[in-house]
């Protein structure tokens, strides 16, 4: 077991060094030199472990161990290789390394698997270089739109398409079929929150994800003479706004409490039957 922990630590340290930022953390933006170096470095590791490795058209990297029996069924695991500016060691790249190390370990311990096991090191998920997100996974599912990228450029004015071709990749060949062999996908990812720490848990299994929505709401009140307008005649937007804010937060807290109770109960049930 100690060897595995050491392998994980060594690999995280190694990969964090590619794009290590003098101002802290790792800065490895999509299609940058460091990004290419990281993808090539992970590829080399997987080659050395005897995986079959390849890139797709846009630069997602794959490392595969063929199954012996269920040849059209693949269990995939991985995460994204790009980082935000000053990104943390465990965001994205940990999921890539965890998948690589787990599959390497399984292969060494148990030989050829029944189903194909495959690592994906996704090109992009952070939107930190170009104003566009999920370029890696969207291409995997055929959801990325080439036309959307036409005017896209980074902060220095480098066009998306030039950066992509500069790194040796191009748009997805849309005549190629999409994959339908993925039977399960697991992404190991740092929580980036405090729940596990506060609850004293090592791992959380995620079965749903927070969906953010943003609204622009206009409240129309009525200005009036403060001294002579009795409370009943006022139409005060700040008051209305404060109600909206407190009621929304109360509602969210109530939902959170009931979800937590639900999970605690179902956990207790699973434990004690």
CA dist., res. 76 & res. 99, Å (int): 8
Q: What is the nearest approach in angstroms of Zn ion to the Cβ of residue 172?
A: 22
Residue 67 or 92: the one with the smaller Cβ distance to Zn ion is 92
Q: Measuring CA to CA, how many Å separate 66 from each of 52, 62, 75, 82?
A: 8, 12, 11, 27
Residues 6 or more apart whose CB falls under 8 angstroms from that of 25 comprise 83, 85, 86, 87, 88, 89
CA dist., res. 68 & res. 158, Å (int): 46
Q: What is the nearest approach in angstroms of Zn ion to the Cβ of residue 96?
A: 10
Residue 16 or 116: the one with the smaller Cβ distance to Zn ion is 16
Q: What is the nearest approach in angstroms of Zn ion to the Cβ of residue 197?
A: 18
Strands 182-186 and 61-65: unpaired
Residue 20 or 114: the one with the smaller Cβ distance to Zn ion is 20
Q: What is the nearest approach in angstroms of Zn ion to the Cβ of residue 92?
A: 4
Q: Does 91 bind Zn ion (CB under 5 A)?
A: yes
Residue 49 or 91: the one with the smaller Cβ distance to Zn ion is 91
Residue 101 or 158: the one with the smaller Cβ distance to Zn ion is 101
Q: Does 92 bind Zn ion (CB under 5 A)?
A: yes
Q: What is the nearest approach in angstroms of Zn ion to the Cβ of residue 59?
A: 17
**Phi, psi (deg, nearest 5) at residue 106:** -60, -40
- Considering only residues 206-265, where is the footprint of Zn ion by CB under 5 A? none
The region of 84-92, 107-115, 149-157, 180-188 touching Zn ion under the rule CB under 5 A is 84-92
CB count, 10 Å around CB of 160? 21
Q: Does 187 bind Zn ion (CB under 5 A)?
A: no
CA dist., res. 75 & res. 184, Å (int): 5
The b/e string for 227-242 (b: 16+ C-beta within 10 A; e otherwise) is: eeeeeeeeeeeeeeee
Q: Does 118 bind Zn ion (CB under 5 A)?
A: no
Q: What is the nearest approach in angstroms of Zn ion to the Cβ of residue 82?
A: 9
Residue 91 or 154: the one with the smaller Cβ distance to Zn ion is 91
CA dist., res. 80 & res. 124, Å (int): 6
Binding mask 32-71 for Zn ion (x = CB under 5 A): ----------------------------------------
The size of the interface with Zn ion (CB under 5 A), counted in residues, is 2
Residues 6 or more apart whose CB falls under 8 angstroms from that of 73 comprise 67, 115, 116, 181, 183
- Going by the DSSP 8-state scheme, the letter that residue 259 receives in this structure is H
Residue 118 or 125: the one with the smaller Cβ distance to Zn ion is 125
Question: Is 272 in a helix, a strand, or coil?
Answer: helix
Q: What is the nearest approach in angstroms of Zn ion to the Cβ of residue 242?
A: 35
Residue 132 or 171: the one with the smaller Cβ distance to Zn ion is 132
Give the residues lining the site for Zn ion (CB under 5 A).
91-92
């Amino acid at each position: 077991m100690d060897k595995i922990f050491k392998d994980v630590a060594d690999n995280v340290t190694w990969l964090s060094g590619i794009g290590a930022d003098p101002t802290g953390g790792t800065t490895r933006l999509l299609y940058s030199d460091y990004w290419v170096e990281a993808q090539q470095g992970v590829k080399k590791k997987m080659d050395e472990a005897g995986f079959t490795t390849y890139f797709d058209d846009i630069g997602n990297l794959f490392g595969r161990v063929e199954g012996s029996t269920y040849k059209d069924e693949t269990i995939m695991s991985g995460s994204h290789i790009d980082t935000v500016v000053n990104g943390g060691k465990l965001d994205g790249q940990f999921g890539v390394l965890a998948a690589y190390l787990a599959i390497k370990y399984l292969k060494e311990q148990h030989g050829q698997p029944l189903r194909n096991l495959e690592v994906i090191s996704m090109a992009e998920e952070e939107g930190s270089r170009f104003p566009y997100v999920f370029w890696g996974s969207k291409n995997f599912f055929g959801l990325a739109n080439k036309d959307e990228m036409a005017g896209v450029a980074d902060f220095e004015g480098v066009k998306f398409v030039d950066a992509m071709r500069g790194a040796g990749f191009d748009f997805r060949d849309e005549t190629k079929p999409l994959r339908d062999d993925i039977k399960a996908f697991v992404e190991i990812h740092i929580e980036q929150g405090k729940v596990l720490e506060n609850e004293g848990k090592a791992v959380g299994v995620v079965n749903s994800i927070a969906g953010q929505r943003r609204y622009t709401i206009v409240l129309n009140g009525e200005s009036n003479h403060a001294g002579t307008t009795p409370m009943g005649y006022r139409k005060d937007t700040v008051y209305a706004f404060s109600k909206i804010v407190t009621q929304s937060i109360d509602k969210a807290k109530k939902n959170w409490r009931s979800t937590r109770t639900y999970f605690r109960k179902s956990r207790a049930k699973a434990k004690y039957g």
